[in-house]
């Protein structure tokens, strides 16, 4: 079976306009695959290019070179690096999802509405979306009394859990996770990791960034080690994790 995501020769250059216009390389010829039911974790020190890679796949960043082949549910393949912005927007949700560290919620919307909207955007009918949203919020320990308050008044940890609930309810074929549990206390972190761990069983392809070695060991089917915008090694957690000793996190 073909991978859900095939990255080939990916490069991203940034122009430092506020200094002297110099160009720096954020990604240098990255190759990687992510298959259905696989959780690939990007690891390495700060500045290695991990988040830049996620943002290129999500098309928050426009790649400078290379291809990002996403295999869709109907069996066709699109190159996320070259299609138009309108096509990318249409793919986000059902085919491609992104959970960042921070919740960027529209004003005057509560957690329940945010998660329901995410589910309906992925094709669930309204009643099913209501049920799925309630399950997700309860699993992530969001107090029901907070479901209809504006998300802007939630704590950082509550916002992060709402973000994760919205990203995983009726999950897309490819889910990108960027430090999704960084603000959580141990109990809520455990609930979140359990939810993420179940994605593989639903056939979701997951590409993530975690700095927590325990989370990587628990979740990853494969770890991709990056340095200076390049992939320097890849393999099972038990082989790659020892290489992370001493890496700045």
Instruction: Express each pLDDT in 75-93 by its tens digit.
Output: 999 999 999 999 999 999 8
Domain extent listing, the chain: 37-62+85-220+234-244
CATH for 37-62+85-220+234-244, options being 3.90.1150.10, 3.30.300.90, 3.40.50.720, 3.40.50.300: 3.40.50.300
Banded model confidence at residue 103, pLDDT cuts 50, 70, 90: confident
Q: Which two tokens stand for residue 175?
A: 């889910």
Residue 125: CB partners within 8 Å, gap ≥ 6?
none
User: How high is the pLDDT of residue 17?
Assistant: 67
- Can you give the pTM of this predicted structure? 0.93
Query: Cα–Cα distances in Å, from 8 out to 106, 113, 123, 135, 148?
Result: 35, 38, 30, 38, 44
């Amino acid at each position: 079976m073909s991978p859900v995501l095939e990255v080939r020769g990916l490069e991203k250059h940034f122009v430092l306009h506020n200094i002297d216009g110099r160009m720096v390389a954020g990604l240098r010829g990255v190759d990687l695959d992510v298959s259905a039911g696989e959780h690939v974790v990007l690891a390495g020190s700060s500045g290695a290019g991990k988040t830049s890679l996620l943002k290129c796949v999500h098309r928050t960043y426009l790649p400078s070179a290379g291809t990002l082949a996403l295999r869709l549910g109907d069996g066709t393949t699109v190159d996320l690096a070259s299609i138009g912005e309108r096509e990318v927007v249409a793919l986000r949700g059902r085919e491609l999802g992104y959970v960042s560290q921070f919740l960027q919620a529209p004003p005057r919307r509560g957690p329940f509405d945010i998660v329901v909207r995410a589910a309906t955007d992925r094709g669930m009918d309204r009643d099913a979306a209501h049920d799925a949203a309630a399950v997700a919020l309860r699993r992530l320990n969001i107090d029901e009394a907070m479901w209809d308050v504006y998300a802007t008044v939630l704590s950082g940890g509550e916002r992060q859990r709402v973000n994760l609930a919205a990203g995983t309810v009726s999950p897309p074929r490819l889910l990108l996770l960027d430090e999704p549990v960084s603000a959580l206390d141990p109990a809520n972190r455990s609930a979140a990791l359990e939810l993420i761990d179940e994605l593989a069983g639903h056939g979701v392809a997951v590409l993530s960034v975690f700095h927590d070695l325990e989370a990587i060991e628990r979740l990853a089917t494969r770890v991709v080690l990056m340095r200076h915008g390049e992939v320097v090694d890849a393999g099972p957690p038990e082989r790659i994790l020892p290489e992370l000793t001493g890496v700045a996190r």
